[in-house]
Structure 1
Amino acid sequence: MHFPGMPAPLARVVEMLSSLPGVGPKTAMRMGLNLLTRPAGDAAALAQALECLHEQVGFCPVCGCFSEQGHCHFCDDPSRDAATLCVVEQPVDVLMMERGHGYRGSYHVLLGRLSPVDGVGPEQLRLASLDQRMKQGINEIILATSATVDGEATAHYLANRYQHAGVSVSRISRGVPEGGELEYLDEHTLSRALDQRVSWQHHA
């Protein structure tokens, strides 16, 4: 959306903000104007935080979750159950699962989900590293992909891939609504879904 008479620097900020998910041109305009009316130090602090984001935050080479350097603190925590592995789609899903304070196992982040329409197949997911981890004494794999069509397809694929690996395969329960994304659920729903997980055979 073009706003006649808008200064070029402000237009650039509005353009960048409107490229973010869920932010339309009008919302981006309000955000840009808000930044402009704040003290210059606030805008500088925001710019510095954004600059540090890519410099200081990466992904854990073991589980794929957010990490500031090396392994994430979940993988480095010796009190967590390394034999139980919860598989999620994105790093933000790990953060949401942790809000429930009920799960003390390990995680594996796929960095996506199967979606043939979008050209996402098994080779685009972090399955090679998951295969390696499955050989390291895993007793149970919990499939915590989203309750969407693609999330369910991913869970089915993983269950078929690992159900003969000598491990228990379970799926988080229907506390997660159909079509629901983990990042939008409250911690109580997620905690209940984990506690009431069912075996994959029963789920299917």
Structure 2
Amino acid sequence: MTNFPAPIEELIDEFSRLPGIGKKTAQRLAFFVVKDKKDSAIRLSEAIINVKNRIHFCEDCFNITDKDKCSICSNASRDRSVICVVEDSKDVIAIEKTREFKGLYHVLHGAISPMDGIGPEDIKLRELIIRIRDNEVNELILATNPTIEGEATSMYISKLLSQTDILVTRLAHGIPVGGDLEFADEVTLSKALEGRRKI
């Protein structure tokens, strides 16, 4: 039982919901907000509300954006015949840091995970198939995370496209199994892109 006033306890609870924030860190953040100037707290809350109001998914690739199309899909110099499939928008940022990939992306917003009740219909898989069908795509690079769920998702997509002329490749395993793309360094991701192979 704590002796915190109810508004502070509520703020601690909300901070605790953030990934990587435990109860002690949440308490430090809450007391920082209490001690900080009121206009700083207002700017923080307005920034959060602004993100929730203005950020949505790109109508083509489902990456996050504040416009109808993200900056990558809007860029006419990108190779539209190659699509790199990732699980999350953070993965797009990680791959873009390598400056190696010149094609487009498709963000699934998850991976197939029967244990968690996530099937193919729960991620942006149908949209990927429609996008491939409606555009001249020559290669699909599967860049899902090297986890059980990521591998299952890649295999599922590969089987769906096995009867097409599209070259389906997978990132080379320079990325550690169980790791996430967002934590891989640029050199590792660059080598993984160069060493992709057909599956």
TM-score under structure 2 length normalisation: 0.96
1:103 counterpart residue number = 101
Shift of 1:187: 2.0
1:191 counterpart residue number = 190
1:51 counterpart residue number = 49
- Is 1:160 matched with 2:165? no
Shift of 1:189: 1.5
Q: Partner of 1:106: helix, strand, or coil?
A: strand
1:145 counterpart residue number = 144
Query: C-alpha deviations, 1:50-92, integer Å up to 9, x for none?
Result: 0101111000121000010211111110000000000001112
Q: How do 1:21-36 and structure 2 match up within 5 A?
A: 21-36=19-34
Matches of 2:157 and 2:88, distance apart in 1? 16
Shift of 1:196: 1.4
1:169 counterpart residue number = 168
Matches of 1:148 and 1:36, distance apart in 2? 41
Matches of 2:101 and 2:107, distance apart in 1? 15
Matches of 1:184 and 1:3, distance apart in 2? 36
Counterpart of 2:34, as a letter, is L
2:118 counterpart residue number = 120
Which ranges in structure 1 are unaligned for 5 or more consecutive residues? none
Shift of 1:115: 0.2
2:132 counterpart residue number = 134
Query: C-alpha deviations, 1:81-113, integer Å up to 9, x for none?
Result: 000000001112111111111111000111110
Counterpart of 1:86, as a letter, is C
Which 4+ stretches in 1 moved above 2 angstroms?
none
Shift of 1:188: 2.0
Which ranges in structure 2 are unaligned for 5 or more consecutive residues? none
TM-score under structure 1 length normalisation: 0.93
Q: Partner of 2:169: helix, strand, or coil?
A: strand
Matches of 2:101 and 2:123, distance apart in 1? 24
Q: Partner of 2:74: helix, strand, or coil?
A: coil
Shift of 1:40: 1.8
Q: State the identity as a percent.
A: 37
